[in-house]
Structure formats: structure tokens, C-alpha cells
A and B are shown apart, each in its own frame.
Chain A
Amino acid sequence: MHTSQAAVDEPAHENPALLHHFATEEQQKNAASLGMWVFLAQEVMFFGGMFCAYLVYRYKYFADFGSASQQLDIKLGATNTVVLICSSLTVVLGVRAAQLGKRMALVFWLVATIFLGLVFLGIKADEYAEKFEKHHVPGASFSYHELLPSQEKLPEAERQYADPHHAEMYFSLYFAMTGMHALHMVIGVGLFGFLAYKAWRGKYTPEYYTPIENAGLYWHFVDIVWIYLFPLLYLIDRHR
């Protein structure tokens, strides 16, 4: 960069990333940041609709949702939660590296984030494969014959089974919510791949790293969605 040589009274020439319709770098950065936050607010409403549907149906089919929820593997869900939290840390360290102008450290942390994102998606794919094997994927071949929660304590003749249609609703919501979340992860991994290439080419400097920061905000948001999905889908019906 040539910051030291640039004329102080002509900020337009100071940073090649400063677009002509912004007065200062700070204004440009704030505009991009605000746009990202408004996008994330929209994402809250997008996922909020599915969370609301889940709440309504869980209220309606309480026992059946308990049964279906217990079909999920808590170990895989918890592992994925840890993987995502670690990826959020690598993003934070990546943004920090960009702020400090450490090019190779930035590339390293972005690649680490991509790797952790792919680990998450791999574990998710394994979980989905198990659902296909057990015919727990909603559709023509869906079949469900599992007990309602805490029925195994009763004598065999009195045991009650979950309504397959109600369990199917649980799995519809499970696939819709985790599927949309996984799609966001795929987009995030692609985004970081693009940014890692640009970072390797030296595009980002302490004066201009807005794309890194905004992609980081996006990734943290996806992490927060999972922070809520994990207890709601895997945990809260485990004790029943």
C-alpha cells in the first residue's frame, strides 16, 4: 500500500477500494456493514418462520415429536455444534489477521474455516444417510414404527406407538430446517473459498477488508441458527 505517500486532502486516491460515491472509507464501510446487518435481520425472519412452524407442530403433536426427536444421534449433533463453534473462532482469527494485514495468516484461517465447514457438512451427510436407511425421510417410502416417549417401561400390550404422520411432520421440519442451514453452510464455504483466493492474491489490507468482515458476520449468524437448532431438534425431548 502507498498510504504514507498519498495526499492527505485527497482521500479518494488514498485507497483504491474506496468507491467514488462514498466520501470516506469509514462511510463506505459503515454502509456495507449496515447492509449486511439488514440482510441478517431478514435471515432471522426467514429462519424464524420455520422455527415458528416447528413450535406450532411440536405443541400440537407433543408426544410424537418427542418420539421422533429421540431418533436423532445426540453425539453427532453435539460434535457438529463443537465443529461450528471452532469454525466461528477461526473466522474471528481470520478477521483479526485481515485487520493486522497478515496475508498468509488470513488465508490460513479462511482455509481452516472451509475445512471445519466441510467437516460439519460431512457429519450432516452421514446423519442424512442414516435417515434414508431407516426410511425416516418424508415422502412415499416414509415408514415409522417407534414407541412414544417412556413407553418402554410399560408391559408390551399397553405400549403406544407414535402416529407415523405426526412423526413425518417432525422429519419434514427437521429436513427443512437443517437442510436450509446446510445450504447456508455450502454458500458460506463457497464464499470463503472465493475470499481465500482473493486474500491469497493480496486483495485485502488493514484499509480494506469489508468482504472478510461481512462474510464473517454471515458465518456467525449461521452458527447462531445451529445454536438454536441443536437443542430444539436433538436435546429438549431426550429426557422424556
Chain B
Amino acid sequence: MSDHKSASGHTSEHASTQTPEHISEHISSVGSSVAIWLALLAGTGITVAAAFIDLGPFNTIVALTIATIKATLVILFFMHVKYTHEKLTGLVVVSAIFWLFILLALSMADYTTRLWR
């Protein structure tokens, strides 16, 4: 999984250094990216297969659990959140998920308890 193992046959146009020292950015290796890609494809296959099995209310739970695992893989690895040194990025991601949770949880707490209607 060396960084010099290029993903394609294209040759480098630039003669500049392969790893710029002054920007401490993570460069994901082709191998790990392909591994995440395969995991996402496997997740898609499993979720489609699970949809045809009658699990009652657990169909929704299984589907959303797999979707959340896939989304987590994308956020952590494809969006580089796992490797970022910037703490604010994590704060924004967690805040976004938390606000979404407030939106969905409080709305559903209202609509699912309107027993008089």
C-alpha cells in the first residue's frame, strides 16, 4: 500500500516533490481506498439481500444500521475525518448529526404520541 503505487498508468506531470512538507495532509493509499470501496459495495449487497427477508420491524432497523455503517465509512475515510488534525471538523460533524437527531426525535415524539387524533 505504498503511496508511490499509482492507481493508474498516468505518469506524473510535475517534477516537484511527491510529499509537500509544509502541508500536513493525509494522503490515502490506493489500497485502503479500494478496501473501503469494497466494504461499501458489500454493504449495498447485504442491505439489498436483507430487504427480501421478512424480519418484521427489524427490516427497517437492519437497513438503517447498514446505511449508517456505510455513511460512517465514507465520512471517516473518504472524507478524511479520521486523519484530520483540525478539531473543529469533528465538532461540526458531531453537531450536524446531533441537530438532525433533535429534528427527527422531537418531531416523531410529537407525531407518534398524538393518540387523541
Contact = CB atoms under 8 A, between A and B. Distances in A.
A52 B103 contact: yes
B68 to A, nearest CB: 8
A34 B79 contact: no
Contacts of A143: none
Nearest to B9: A105
Interface residues of A, number: 66
Interface residues of B, number: 64
Contact of B75 (A26, A97, A216, A224): A224
B48 A78 contact: yes
A93 B104 contact: no
A92 interface: yes
Interface in A71-102: 74, 78, 81-82, 85-86, 88-89, 91-93, 95-97, 99-102
Given A34-B86, A224-B74, A239-B59, A100 B92 contact: no
Contacts of A96: 7, 27-28, 30, 33
B21 to A, nearest CB: 10
Nearest to A206: B20
A5 B16 CA distance: 12
Interface string B83-109: 000101100110111011001100110
A74 B92 CA distance: 34
